[in-house]
Structure 1
């Protein structure tokens, strides 16, 4: 892929995300379909381009939305996977697609709030090329450890890490990933040392955690069966609320690290200049589906929470996440 735009400065990133939120706030019918939706739309199939491979959480979410969107819009809605460069190949494809309401991006929150800070160059200018349509799910991260170690809760983990500085190592799906940034946040706030071991994806990272090669990780939801089976200890939830899947497990905030939040929000974007009425209609239909029991359950199975909201609220959430992650990326020197 040929890159065309230098890496924006952090302040510029905050500016473009803020502009997305402002533009979204001006959209008519942020909570319901607009009466001004073009009469001939949709008149052909709609593409959801996913920035990650089949089976990834953005892919699962996109495919969960397809049946309901197909029925509501009375046109086929198809998923296309364009993985690579932490979601930026798909983002570029959508940004350069016609803004006629037939191409949308489904991507991870980390792509839009972390990778924009860690990639050395960006292929597009998000402030000009994309606009928020709908949030889909708040992704929770679970702090897990090898069950064979001498601790089984968060305080025991911290005590061990402080007593053995640098002895623990942690797995991530790669440099600059959300679990990587979460672990660096934890190290900084808790004052502990641990060795980072990056992998090429979540699955190999999980396998080495289960095999005892590394001792802990922030899991994006693929380790749930191993937690239930007792092979991994769930030490804490890395987002602002307890997970409904494990309601007895406190958050990291509850256990003394005020303000700790490693959550990201997956969502749907459109090429800049897409009709405000089309965006409003898509937002309304997606929000209806997220509120349905069937779709909410599919998202919950990922260890995530459905998050219906307006385009303006979605833009504001991404802005807050980006500002928080941009600060930790700069402080810890994180790069992809």
Structure 2
């Protein structure tokens, strides 16, 4: 290339690219937007994702729909999202499990959780509860720990299988409380029927699946994560109040885009999510089952994921759990 053309041409090409990206972002979205959800249709997380998609549809003025890609602990859907074209028309619902936990459970994954996605916004968090059968002869954490010390075989903790959120939350509690838990894994069936019946005594989980039965008195809530008591369960102490200050697992959902998605589009999506999070009806839904609807900046969400991933990495390391 002619030296003069080189000096003039390269900046011009770069400028043209910036102008093209800016114009694209200004017109975005010009068609429907797909959100890949790495969980099955009809589940609690799916319902949350569809509620968010409906609010984003209102804000963006284009249809935002959920594409369920369940399987392999969320790996199938996460890989599909990581490989999608980074044009803003395929997004991804990331979760505690897929982006904070799974990367520590497998030595090889078909995606890089830290590099293959651009954070857009946190969508919401679900506080974790220590959920018990009413038959348990303990009504708070201190009484529970005393019972477990005096009768180690009297308390069994249900989980949704090795490496699941419920299992690793229980491991985290055990480390924090310096106690050994007896885990009962339910790999394919929900543990809640047995928890209601008193066949198992405890479970650590986000609260949507249990909130109705807790309010009805069919299950009891001994403690909840969070810096303050949750307004839906004002009589339930936090784990910090119960003497377990460093136990802080939360189940979260967040909106991400494939790495390489133009910043202007990411910023527009983040702003749209913050507007969607102002929906009073949706915010009340999240509060009703122990959660909180969120909306933040890409930088804030990136920092949140990094901190959460580090915490779960320490739990997985201590628990010595590997799934490959």
TM over 0.5, yes or no?
A: yes
Tell me the SS of whatever aligns to 1:186. Answer: helix
Given the alignment of the two structures, is residue 205 of structure 1 paired with residue 200 of structure 2, yes or no?
A: no
Q: CA deviation at 1:274?
A: 0.3
Task: Identify which of 29, 52, 68 aligns with 1:42.
Answer: 29
When structure 1 is superposed on structure 2, of 282-291 and 35-44 the one drifting more is 35-44
Q: TM-score, normalised by structure 1?
A: 0.85
Given the alignment of the two structures, is residue 320 of structure 1 paired with residue 300 of structure 2, yes or no?
A: no
Q: Which runs of structure 2 are paired with 1:69-148 in the superposition (5 Å)?
A: 69-148=56-135
Larger radius of gyration: 2
When structure 1 is superposed on structure 2, of 179-188 and 161-170 the one drifting more is 161-170
Indicate if the aligned counterparts of 2:206 and 2:251 stay in contact, CA closer than 8 A.
no
Decide whether aligned partners of structure 1 residues 220 and 52 sit closer, same or farther in structure 2, where only a CA change above 3 A counts. same
Which string of whole-angstrom CA distances, capped at 9 and with x for unpartnered residues, describes residues 31-50 of structure 1?
Answer: xxx98662332122110111
Q: CA deviation at 1:149?
A: 2.1
Indicate if the aligned counterparts of 1:50 and 1:59 stay in contact, CA closer than 8 A.
yes
Tell me the SS of whatever aligns to 2:154. Answer: coil
* Distance in 1 separating the partners of 2:26 and 2:220: 54
Decide whether aligned partners of structure 1 residues 36 and 174 sit closer, same or farther in structure 2, where only a CA change above 3 A counts. farther
Q: CA deviation at 1:54?
A: 2.1
Aligned-pair Cα RMSD in Å: 1.9
* Distance in 2 separating the partners of 1:305 and 1:36: 35
When structure 1 is superposed on structure 2, of 268-277 and 229-238 the one drifting more is 229-238
Tell me the SS of whatever aligns to 2:237. Answer: coil
Aligned to 1:250: 237
| Higher RCO structure, 1 or 2 (CA under 8 Å, sep 6+) | 1
Tell me the SS of whatever aligns to 2:152. Answer: coil
Decide whether aligned partners of structure 1 residues 67 and 264 sit closer, same or farther in structure 2, where only a CA change above 3 A counts. closer
Aligned to 2:175: 188
Tell me the SS of whatever aligns to 1:140. Answer: strand
Aligned to 1:218: 204
Aligned residues: 302
Q: CA deviation at 1:306?
A: 1.1
Given the alignment of the two structures, is residue 274 of structure 1 paired with residue 265 of structure 2, yes or no?
A: no
Q: Which runs of structure 2 are paired with 1:5-84 in the superposition (5 Å)?
A: 38-84=25-71
Decide whether aligned partners of structure 1 residues 37 and 259 sit closer, same or farther in structure 2, where only a CA change above 3 A counts. farther
Q: TM-score, normalised by structure 2?
A: 0.88
Given the alignment of the two structures, is residue 286 of structure 1 paired with residue 273 of structure 2, yes or no?
A: yes
Q: CA deviation at 1:289?
A: 1.0
Q: CA deviation at 1:255?
A: 1.1
Indicate if the aligned counterparts of 2:168 and 2:316 stay in contact, CA closer than 8 A.
yes
Indicate if the aligned counterparts of 1:237 and 1:251 stay in contact, CA closer than 8 A.
yes
Indicate if the aligned counterparts of 1:161 and 1:167 stay in contact, CA closer than 8 A.
yes
Q: CA deviation at 1:166?
A: 4.0
* Distance in 1 separating the partners of 2:302 and 2:115: 14
Tell me the SS of whatever aligns to 1:273. Answer: coil
Indicate if the aligned counterparts of 1:151 and 1:157 stay in contact, CA closer than 8 A.
yes
When structure 1 is superposed on structure 2, of 296-305 and 153-162 the one drifting more is 296-305
Q: Which runs of no fewer than 5 residues in structure 1 stay unpaired?
A: 1-33
Which string of whole-angstrom CA distances, capped at 9 and with x for unpartnered residues, describes residues 172-221 of structure 1?
Answer: 122212221111111122122221112136x6111111122211001312
Aligned to 1:152: 139
Which string of whole-angstrom CA distances, capped at 9 and with x for unpartnered residues, describes residues 72-100 of structure 1?
Answer: 22221111111112222111111111111
